[in-house]
Each structure stands twice: as C-alpha cells, then as structure tokens.
Amino acid sequence: MNKYSYIETTVVDGIAIVELNRPEVLNAINHNMVLELVDAFRACDENDHVQAIVLTGKGRAFAAGADIGEMAEASPMDLELLDQFADWDQLMKTRKPVIGAINGLALGGGFELALICDMLFTTDKAQFGFPEVNLGVMPGAGGTQQLTKIIGKRKALEYIWTGDKISAEQALEWGIVNRVIAPELLMEETLKFARTVAKKPPLGVRLIKESVQKAEDYPLEEGMKLERKNFYLLFSSEDQKEGMHAFIEKRNPQFKGK
C-alpha cells in the first residue's frame, strides 16, 4: 500500500519507481511532497533490494514548479524558519543512482528536481525552464548553480532572465539530458537502463557516483585523490575479488553488494 499522499512508490526488479502524484496541479511541489521524497529516497538508500531509483511524474507534466499557492504569502522569516532547502539538500545526498524519466514540463522547482537526478531521459514533449523571474523571484533550489555548470554562464543567464523554455532537443544538445525517447517508450527505456546499472556491483556504482559528483566541485588534484581512495576501497570488497576471479576463470560474476 502506498504510504504517501503526494508521491507514489513501487519497487520492481530492484528498481524503485518514484512518481510525483499531484497531476491535477501538474505535480506542483509542496513542502510535504519534498518531505515525502526525502523519506522515499532515504528508504531506497537503506533497502538492499533497491539498486536504482527512477523518478517521474504522473500526468502530462513532470512538475510545473514549487506550489505557488503555498508560497505566495510567505514572509522571508517564514521561509527562514521553514528552511525547506535543508530538506531539499537531503535529496542530493542519495547514494544510489537516481534516473529521471521526464515525461513533460519541468519548470522552476520541477526543473531543479530534474537536475538533482544523476541522469535524465526525456521525451520530445518535455520542456525545461525557470519561469520564476515572471513571478518576481528567481530559482532557489540550485537552479542558477546547476544549470550554469551544465550550459555555461551566458546561456544560463539568457534562459533564467527570460524564463523561456528549453526544448528537449536543445536540452539534449547542451548535455542537460542524456536521451530523448518517444513518449510511449520513456518508462520502458529508462527502466531498461536502470536494470543495466542494477546488475553492476552496487559498491562500485556507489563510489563511481560519489567520485563523478565531486569532479564538479573539487579541484582536479583533490578529485583524483578521492578517486584513488575509492579505487583502493573497492579492493576490500568481495565483489572486486569475484569480478576479477570470474574474469580469470572465464565465467559470469555473481555480485553480492559486499
């Protein structure tokens, strides 16, 4: 039984499918939805039967942003006391692979939620954008930072200043998304990819994620130090022994996640 009100989760063959579930308001993200996402992602991280998370939205949008009704009358002090970005930060600490299946519009906080995914698969119907400027505000959950890291300052400013939408094709060309897929095949193809990753040794997948993430934040020397430590660390795993012995013995490895 689904224990959440604003999201829905199912686990199939080691993949957790997390769906934003407010289609009547284009999956507008309220604070409780963020709390539920934090809880669901943490539960996936702690569940040995889950190897990857696929995040998607129900209905015609992925998410049309933060819930404007919930925010409209907030004072700066309300926002400070609520400190909802601290919850948001938890999502970015998820250790298992998070793959977004972006089924439609991803705007504002919805685009920011997409950008916390490790990889993005989308359809040609999807569009991405930061319309906050038209509401008298600006992105607040990492949008100015994340988008700029991917597409550079000039293009980021153009789109965040105007609120114009980025098409799926453009998003593919600029490296915002990994693949553009026909709408009817989006989930099938995303799950297929997630299953491929799920078959790999989980510790390796986890430490690869950590190392690649740090490549964006650390100077090269620090990043390489971390990579090396993670490389050494994997030699303490049973899966390293199994992987290398299986190669030498010309058989398929049986990974255990230990």
Residues catalogued as catalytic = 66, 109, 112, 132
Tokens (6 digits) for 115: 């950008």
How many residues sit close enough to ligand CO8 to count as binding (CB under 6 A)? 23
23 part of the interface to ligand CO8, by CB under 6 A? no
Which position has the token pair 């058989």?
251
At its nearest, how many Å lie between ligand CO8 and the CB of residue 171?
Answer: 17
Tokens (6 digits) for 40: 């669901």
Query: Where in 90-109 is the site for ligand CO8 (CB under 6 A)?
Result: 105, 107-109
Q: Find out whether 69 and 31 touch, Cβ atoms under 8 Å.
A: no
Instruction: Name which position in 47, 69, 74, 185 contacts ligand CO8 (CB under 6 A).
Output: 69
Instruction: Name which position in 20, 28, 98, 156 contacts ligand CO8 (CB under 6 A).
Output: 28
Query: Where in 158-177 is the site for ligand CO8 (CB under 6 A)?
Result: none
Residue nearest to ligand CO8 (CB): 108
Stretch near ligand CO8 under the rule CB under 6 A, chosen from 21-29, 95-103, 115-123, 250-258 = 21-29
Which position has the token pair 């026909």?
182
At its nearest, how many Å lie between ligand CO8 and the CB of residue 211?
Answer: 27
CA pair distance 108, 159, nearest whole angstrom: 12
Tell me whether residue 166 is exposed, middle or buried, using C-beta atoms within 10 angstroms of its C-beta: 0 to 12, 13 to 18, 19 or more: buried
Residues 47-66, mask of contacts with ligand CO8 (x by CB under 6 A): -----------------xxx
> Longest Cα pair distance anywhere in the chain, in angstroms?
66
At its nearest, how many Å lie between ligand CO8 and the CB of residue 50?
Answer: 24
Tokens (6 digits) for 113: 């939620």
34 part of the interface to ligand CO8, by CB under 6 A? yes
Torsion of CA 231, 233, 236, 241, to 10 degrees: -20
At its nearest, how many Å lie between ligand CO8 and the CB of residue 70?
Answer: 8
204 part of the interface to ligand CO8, by CB under 6 A? no
Tokens (6 digits) for 134: 């038209």
Residues contacting 210, CB < 8 A, separation 6+: 95, 226, 230
Q: Which is nearer to ligand CO8, 140 or 223 (CB)?
A: 140
At its nearest, how many Å lie between ligand CO8 and the CB of residue 68?
Answer: 4
Query: Where in 132-151 is the site for ligand CO8 (CB under 6 A)?
Result: 132, 135, 139-141
Q: Where does this chain bind ligand CO8 (CB under 6 A)?
A: 25-26, 28-29, 34, 64-69, 88, 105, 107-109, 112, 131-132, 135, 139-141
